[in-house]
């Protein structure tokens, strides 16, 4: 089963059931890519959500991102 096409190569989803970082497809720490893979959505949507949450939440999403990055995997 393939995921979203990030350009020239399709992303192959792992058979992993739980959440995990996706460092191979991530831009910074793999948190947004991992969340997107887990939810089955495009990582760009998750990244936009994190940026919007950071701007509207006075930076609280940066803390959430950091905690997920430290605790996941």
pLDDT score of 11: 54
Which tokens is 67 given?
A: 């905690």
Q: Specify whether the CB–CB gap between 11 and 4 falls below 8 A.
A: yes
Half-sphere exposure of 62 (CA within 13 A, CB side): 6
Pairwise pLDDT comparison (66 vs 4), residue with the higher score? 66
CA 24, CA 35: separation in Å to the nearest integer?
13
Q: Which residue has the tokens 């089963």?
A: 1
Q: What is the pTM of this model?
A: 0.68
What is the tens place of the pLDDT at every residue in 2-57?
Answer: 555 555 555 555 555 677 888 888 888 888 888 888 889 999 999 999 999 999 98
Within a domain: 9: no
Dig out the tokens for 19 from the structure: 């959440």
User: Does 25 reside within a domain?
Assistant: yes
Query: Does residue 11 fall inside a structural domain?
Result: no
49 within a domain of the structure (yes/no): yes
């Amino acid at each position: 089963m393939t995921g979203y096409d990030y350009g020239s190569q399709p992303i192959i989803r792992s058979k992993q059931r739980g959440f995990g970082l996706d460092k191979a497809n991530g831009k910074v720490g793999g948190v947004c890519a991992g969340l997107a893979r887990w939810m089955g959505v495009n990582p760009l949507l998750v990244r936009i959500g994190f940026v919007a949450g950071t701007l509207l939440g006075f930076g609280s999403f940066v803390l959430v991102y950091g905690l997920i990055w430290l605790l996941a995997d």
